[in-house]
Structure 1
Amino acid sequence: FAKLWDIAGVRPLADGSRRLEGLARHGIRFVRADIAAIDPDRLVVETSAGALSAEGIVIALGAGHRPEHVALLGPGAHNLYDARELPAIRAALEDLSGGRLLVSILGAPYLCPPAPFEAALLLNERLGGAAEVVVTTPQPLTLPVAGPDASRFLAERLTEQGVAVLTGRQVEAIDCEAGVARFADGETLDWRVMLAVPAAAPPPVLACSPLAGPSGWIQPDRHSFATTAERVYAVGDCTMVPTATAQLPKAGVFAEAAGTVAAANLAADLRGGERVAFDGHGFCFLELPGRRVATVTGDFYAEPKPDVRLAPGDEASFAAKQEWERERLAAWLG
């Protein structure tokens, strides 16, 4: 959400960033290098800074963006999730008067499921009627990973703020010169500014790894986050963790929970002790206009669909979201 707060005028991106060298105070040696290969059998990671051997590995490589989606973008059509594009997005929004701001999800899965809709809401608030705001998704619901109730809640909040929501709309082509998006059904939408969300792509280094499935993602045990290799775990956006209706959201709160579980289990592998299990319970923040936040909380592993509860948006939850970030930045990076 740090990038969204930047373009929405809440605060600069730098205010939510810390240097990774801060890990040193925990006794962690940080190595900045490109990863060339992971050998799970030998517990060796080949990097541009040399080979690193270990007694155990937790893979948390994150995810990139589908190249074919990035290739669709050009002048006026920006990657909402690329921090390098923030200055251009801010400039485009400042010049926007009239016409349409189009926020389009290009495919799934994508990172941080609520974020495109939050962007539509907060930028609609910032623009104050200066432009029409439309958000599109190829999925049948706004938030399939959270189930139909959460999806309905979000769609209602968008509609009541005057943001048009178009579900089941797959962007097929973008004409940046004309400012037109063409959908798979042949329909088109013109735009003055377009903010696109590419589908997530697994890290290329996993393509040749025995840990990844046919999809390119690692599918660890969804309770322990152990992979098929001994003392190798995988967490966060580089994984695909199935649920009854979709998959565990690629969101920071779940990556943090998985990391805690994986670390405890790897420590148990090495030193003995009790292993722990992730039970599927978690939450997502859903930011609304007026510095309010709603929360989606529940059991994402429930059958036959995620069992989630919605807490209406309020300012106290917005403050809780700020505190959630402050606590983690202070604890991890100082």
Structure 2
Amino acid sequence: MQAKRVGVLGGGIGGVVAANVLRGAVRAPVDIGLIDRRPDHFFPPSYLHVMTGELDPHSASASLSSLERRRIQPIVGEIVSIDPRKRSVTVDRDTFEFDYLIVALGAEIALQSIQGLETCHTFQTLDGAIRLRDALKDFTGGQILIVITGSPYRCPDAPYEAAFLLDDLLRRRGLREKSSVHVATVEPGPMPIAGEAVAGKIRKMLAERSIEYSTGRRLVAVDENRALATFADATQQPYELIIVVPPLLAPQVVSASGLCADTGWISSGPFSLATMFDGVFAVGDACSVRIPNGRYLPKLGVFATRQAVLVAENLAAQIDGDKEQRLYTGEAEVVLETGRGRAASLKGDFYAKPEPKLKLKAPTKRKHLSKAAYERRWLKRWL
């Protein structure tokens, strides 16, 4: 029997999980190629701990070459084009043809979307988290401004985690009394998809830490020389340190492939993660999955992981000739770091009708420790 060829595009969370699960689940001969422009896998949930100096940056990444021992072939190069009809991918000057494609190319940070945004700090890349860590070492007090600049953005819980962790860091260094932490967001409240009950609890936790919070504020410009942020309502805010959460865009090669819908993202079926093209699936940040209330699933690692597992297991079953296919559910747990060695659990059904049915449980040390253990095991488990 001739081996089926599966191309996994992207070496992030969704791509690495999909390739591993497929290799472990399929019985028939399969050649798996994983393509990424970088030779390493990066694990974004660890970036906040790089920011605070608690984690060495090398602990947030690992070489994709280790996948070879799992009979997954990493292909390092720039994806120039994707033809979803032919299921072919051009990498640099070489073209690869596959029987199936799993697109997990993530999203790109749009730093050019707002004047001066590229001068700001961010924890949403590893290099950005390292630079922010170094800036925090030199910080001696003043206003720390965290701005959520647009939607969608990666990990909607992360800006609030950052605020709590920075509050902790400043207290440990004896700087909290002469510093302020302010979260300003373009959104109407914290994590709008979770509903007002959850938003109210997050607002309360912010207030208990004396973390300022303002909503409906659209950033239009940052003046690095004057250390001044300007918002659409003409208000201006000075800062000593500004941290931005930039909006995301689909990678250019994805936009040019014909895979994207009018949302600007790959439209994946909510239960199968299949695209409009036969044999082509999309998982993680590159896709948009519409839920019953008309919103879209947030771009979170937990969804990339669960989607990748489902697609890989179903694809393995299809290749092996099994007819039964599982359906993706919207059930998930998001763990929110709240500082002080504690974390809260946001858990429920994002596919519930008419609105997601989610519950935020009080922060506990146990949940923080379980999240820390999960993050430590990630690279060993998948690479």
Q: CA deviation at 1:85?
A: 2.6
1:91 Cα offset (Å): 2.7
- Is the Cα contact below 8 Å between 1:245 and 1:304 reproduced in 2? no
Residue number in structure 2 paired with 1:276: 326
**Structure ranking higher in strand proportion:** 2
Give unmatched runs, 5+ long, in structure 1: none
- Aligned residue for 1:175? 223
1:36 & 1:67 partners in 2: Cα distance?
22
User: Are 1:234 and 2:282 counterparts?
Assistant: yes
CA distance in 1, matches of 2:159, 2:137: 19
Q: CA RMSD in A?
A: 1.5
Of 52, 61, 68, 2:105 maps to 61
* TM-score (structure 1 length as normaliser): 0.95
Moved more, 274-283 or 238-247: 238-247
Could you give the per-residue CA deviations for residues 184-241 of structure 1, whole angstroms, max 9, x where no partner exists?
Answer: 1111111000001110111101122221112320011011100011111000000111
Cα pair 1:144 1:245 within 8 Å, conserved: no
Aligned partner of 2:128 among 63, 80, 85: 85
> Could you tell me which residue of structure 1 aligns to residue 342 of structure 2?
292
Counterpart Cα distance in 2 of 1:118 and 1:111? 13
Letter in 1 for 2:101: I
Moved more, 192-201 or 125-134: 125-134
Shift in Å, 1:43: 1.1
CA distance in 2, matches of 1:161, 1:90: 21
Q: Percent identity?
A: 33
Unpaired stretches in structure 2, ≥5 consecutive residues: 1-44
Residue among 310, 314, 329 paired with 1:261: 310
User: 2: CA distance between counterparts of 1:50 and 1:67?
Assistant: 30
Equivalent-residue separation in structure 1 for 2:86 and 2:112 (angstroms): 34
Judge conservation of contact 1:22–1:332 (CA < 8 Å) in 2: no
Match of 1:152 in 2: 200
Report 1:1-334 matches (<5 A): 1-48=45-92, 50-69=94-113, 72-73=116-117, 75=119, 77-128=120-171, 129=176, 130-243=178-291, 244=293, 246-273=295-322, 274-333=324-383
Aligned residues of 1:265 and 1:275 also touching (Cα < 8 A): yes
Residue 70 of structure 1: CA displacement? 6.4
Q: What displacement does 1:6 show?
A: 1.0
- Out of 292-301 and 270-279, give the one that drifted further: 270-279
SS at match of 1:90: helix
Runs of 4 or more consecutive aligned structure 1 residues displaced over 3 Å after TM superposition: none
Over 3 Å counting, the alpha-carbon distance change for 1:300 and 1:290 in structure 2 is: same
- Is the Cα contact below 8 Å between 1:145 and 1:245 reproduced in 2? no
Matched position secondary structure for 2:370:
helix
Cα distance in structure 1, aligned partners of 2:276 and 2:356: 26
Q: 1:70 to 1:266 in 2, by over 3 A?
A: farther
CA distance in 2, matches of 1:68, 1:215: 20
- CA change 1:188–1:178 in 2 (3 A) is same
Structure 1 residue 94, shift from structure 2 partner: 2.1
How big is the shift at 1:71? 5.2
- Counterparts of 1:143 and 1:95, CA distance in 2: 31
Q: CA deviation at 1:245?
A: 5.2
- Worse overlay, 142-151 or 224-233: 142-151
Partner AA of 2:76 in structure 1: R
Q: CA deviation at 1:30?
A: 0.4
State the number of aligned residues: 332
Q: Any idea what SS the aligned residue of 1:278 has? A: coil
- The whole-number CA distance in structure 1 between the counterparts of 2:58 and 2:197 is 35
Stretch of structure 1 that moved more, 88-97 or 129-138: 88-97
Give CA deviations for 1:271-324 in whole Å, capped at 9, x if unaligned: 321211111101111001111111101000111111011221111111111222
Q: Report if aligned partners of 2:114, 2:221 keep a CA contact under 8 Å in 1.
A: no
CA offsets, 1:130-179, max 9 Å, x none? 41100111000110122222222211111110100111111111111111
* Contact 2:161–2:337 (8 Å) recurs in 1: yes
Q: Normalized against structure 2, the TM-score is what? A: 0.83
SS in 1 for 2:129: helix
The amino acid of 1:97's aligned partner reads T
